[in-house]
Structure 1
Amino acid sequence: MTIPVHTSREPSPSAQGRALGAAWRAELTRTAASYVDLFAAHGVRGGQVRDWGAAALAATRDWAPGIADEIEGVAAGAGLEPWLLGALNGRTEILAAAAVGGEGECSTSVALPGGGVTPRTVQTWDWHDTLADVMLLRDLEVRPGLRVCTFTEFGIAAKIGVNSAGLGLHFNVLRHASDHPGIGVPVHVVARRILAETSTVEEAVAVARSARLSASSVLTVVTADAASCLELSPAGVAELPAVDGNLLHTNHFLDPVLAPGERTVAAESSTAARLAELRARTSALNAQDRTDRATALLVHGPDGAPLCAHADPALPPHTRWASLATISIDVAARRIDVHEGGPCRVSADTWQSLSAKETL
């Protein structure tokens, strides 16, 4: 299988959304139903999903009206209620509002060799195995002369990606005591606005700090000559620099001010063990070849921390986790490379690539 690709060149956000919605109506309907089921499994049902989805869309409209136009366009094109698309984009906020914990998610490495050498990145995208069919690659022109290529999910504005200005972004979920049910700007919308509007780490930080958040995540922003992990939470945004030329992050706060509010429970999450595995593998994660970097993540739960996660079929569906994709970004080439599946199945021939390289 390959991950579906959608290209957007329509003249407005609304038109781009409508075209995407019409082209992928069945997939969007299925994705929305899958998330409604996931929310219900965590005790969030019916009217509450509708209210929180509408709130996520309203927060998006206040902060990023063009992105809200696109989201509403997707709903119109697919024949779905706008609040459902709000709930998809706000799925992190809805799960945070419900205080959902558990294992997962992703593991990210960015190596900064210096000396003019392009940063070398790789991450897993770990999520529920029941949502393996929600992945989408988008190539969109966000304004004349600026393109964004992003790995995301059907109906979600952006996730991991790169723009034609040479800025890349990786994405991991976090959980913080300050997360709350007063739904704010979705972190996926923050990611999209960074990809659509910024070309430097400093600009990305300013965008992130301007959003009213209700849930937490870490966005690792990378350019040719700089990189930083931006830990986002309702309590504030922390900027973490590289240590010894490496940026490594899993799913717990590292900033000393925000870390005391950590909500991930060590007894149910492998995040600390996965970070330790990344730190032990920095030499391999500095490899020039993307396949070699992905292979450096090849460690399973029984052999250590599950950098390459496989779902346990004995668990209920809403508690199962798997590495559904392995992703690398080349900011010099303005390219995102995606392998469908975990590191244990990657080879030189299993990558899908999208390039946003285009003169600004």
Structure 2
Amino acid sequence: MTVRRFESAEHDPALRGFAFGRAWRDEIASTFTRYGELFAASGSSAAQVRTWGEQALAVTDGWCPRLTTEMNAIADGSGLPAWQIGALNARTEILAASAVRRGATVPRGECSTAVHLPRDGRPPRTIQTWDWHEHLRDVRLVWAYEPRPGHRVRTFTELGVLAKIGVNSRGLGVHFNFLEHGSDTDEIGVPVHLVARRILDEAGTVGEARDIAASARTSASTVITVVGFDRGHSDAVCLELSPAGLGEVRPEQDGTLLHTNHFLDPELARGERHADDSDSRDRLATLAERRPALRSADLTDRARALLSHAPDGAPLCAHPDADAPITDRWETLMTISLDLEASRLEFHPGGPCGVTPRTWQSF
């Protein structure tokens, strides 16, 4: 399972976006085709997806114009209409909007995140699984770029999507988990992936990241776990984004911060909207039981703490059911950690059950 790599030298978003789009022209087109299949299977017409993609560009332009400039430039470089790049970046919002219109929930996702803040001044220890649809395994990319001179960002994302999980040279990083709330709407707001991108581009502290997240009017829910490290000082918070407001979840007394796919903020949890077959709470309980291993300084030990499959336990490591519809073929496509001290990503292309000390890749 190949994860593509790309490094951008351009500081200007228009030049960077155009070069990116030109370099990955065919791959971005293929990514949109695959998402088109998922959108259709979720009940959205092509015309509606176009409208939502255009809305995503417009609302982003009012919030952070340079991100719209970069998306438009990717479209120009790849030869695709701009609304398709808007739709890729708003894929979370489109799936949520489709569910809202059908009066349904988005088929369950299974991402699990664990962070530990050591008390001895050493860097935070993080790990996450990224679970997504089996037929989208080829859209993975790690991308390094400089939004301004001297500020380096490394992100794991999908082809055509500006960011997801990542770390910057100011010692700040983000993890990413899906959520669902009763306030989610079909009026497309700022895409949550672009909230993560702006945090990586601009923030150097957890507080700055929080302010950026609070400034975005979202239409879909997500938790962005922000982790910071500066001269021996660590900090972390789970920012639960929803149209109903922004929740903050802080580490426990032992420095552990865990999140799966349900709200932990008490106020927002009252408006939770989740699939009936969700195993999010079971996975969170399993993470809590395994916190000693999740606090390990050894990355492989942390990954092995996520080794749990259904039906024998909570599926921290997901494998697709070949008989399930396209909307429900979940697979753990990445196991990923943030190295905040070195400003790099450490990842294994697949689930925890395939991890060995030699399968880790650095970027």
Count of residue correspondences:
353
**Residue 168 of structure 1: which of 166, 170, 173 is its match?**
173
Which residue does the alignment assign to 1:250?
260
Which residue does the alignment assign to 1:114?
119
Which residue does the alignment assign to 2:351?
342
Which residue does the alignment assign to 1:357?
none
Spell out the pairing of 1:66-81 with structure 2 (5 A cutoff): 66-81=66-81
Which residue does the alignment assign to 1:277?
286
Moved more, 130-139 or 328-337: 328-337
Spell out the pairing of 1:98-247 with structure 2 (5 A cutoff): 98-99=98-99, 100-224=105-229, 225-243=234-252, 244-247=254-257
Which residue does the alignment assign to 2:44?
44
Contact 1:25-1:79 within 8 A present in 2 as well: yes
Q: CA deviation at 1:101?
A: 1.9
> Take 2:78 and 2:124, find their aligned partners in 1: how far apart are those partners?
39
> Take 1:189 and 1:21, find their aligned partners in 2: how far apart are those partners?
17
Secondary structure of the equivalent of 2:72?
Answer: helix
Secondary structure of the equivalent of 1:226?
Answer: strand
> Take 1:221 and 1:302, find their aligned partners in 2: how far apart are those partners?
32
Q: CA deviation at 1:347?
A: 1.2
Secondary structure of the equivalent of 2:270?
Answer: helix
Q: CA deviation at 1:45?
A: 1.2
Q: Which amino acid aligns with 1:31?
A: T
Percent identity over the alignment is 57
Secondary structure of the equivalent of 2:40?
Answer: helix
Q: Deviations over 1:209-264 (max 9, x none)?
A: 00111010000000121000000000101111101311100000010010011101
In the TM superposition, structure 1's runs of 4+ consecutive aligned residues that sit over 2 Å from their partners are none
> Take 1:18 and 1:263, find their aligned partners in 2: how far apart are those partners?
39
Q: CA deviation at 1:117?
A: 1.6
> Take 1:277 and 1:313, find their aligned partners in 2: how far apart are those partners?
26
Q: Deviations over 1:310-335 (max 9, x none)?
A: 00111112211010000000111111
1:54 aligns with 2:64: no
Q: Which amino acid aligns with 1:28?
A: I
1:13 aligns with 2:23: no
Q: Deviations over 1:153-189 (max 9, x none)?
A: 0000100000000001000010000000110000000
Which residue does the alignment assign to 1:358?
none
Secondary structure of the equivalent of 2:266?
Answer: coil
Q: TM-score, normalised by structure 2?
A: 0.96
Q: Deviations over 1:290-310 (max 9, x none)?
A: 111111100101220100000
Secondary structure of the equivalent of 1:301?
Answer: coil
Secondary structure of the equivalent of 2:138?
Answer: coil
> Take 1:84 and 1:232, find their aligned partners in 2: how far apart are those partners?
24
Which residue does the alignment assign to 1:318?
327
Q: Which amino acid aligns with 2:290?
A: R
Contact 1:2-1:352 within 8 A present in 2 as well: no
> Take 1:23 and 1:102, find their aligned partners in 2: how far apart are those partners?
33
Q: Deviations over 1:46-80 (max 9, x none)?
A: 11000000001111111111111111111111100
Secondary structure of the equivalent of 2:106?
Answer: coil
Q: Deviations over 1:116-160 (max 9, x none)?
A: 021100000000011000101000011011010000000001000
- The gaps in structure 1 that reach 5 residues or longer are 355-360
RMSD value, Cα: 0.9
Report the CA distance shift for 1:11/1:335 in structure 2 as closer, same or farther (over 3 A). Answer: closer
> Take 2:11 and 2:282, find their aligned partners in 1: how far apart are those partners?
47
Q: TM-score, normalised by structure 1?
A: 0.97
Q: CA deviation at 1:338?
A: 1.3
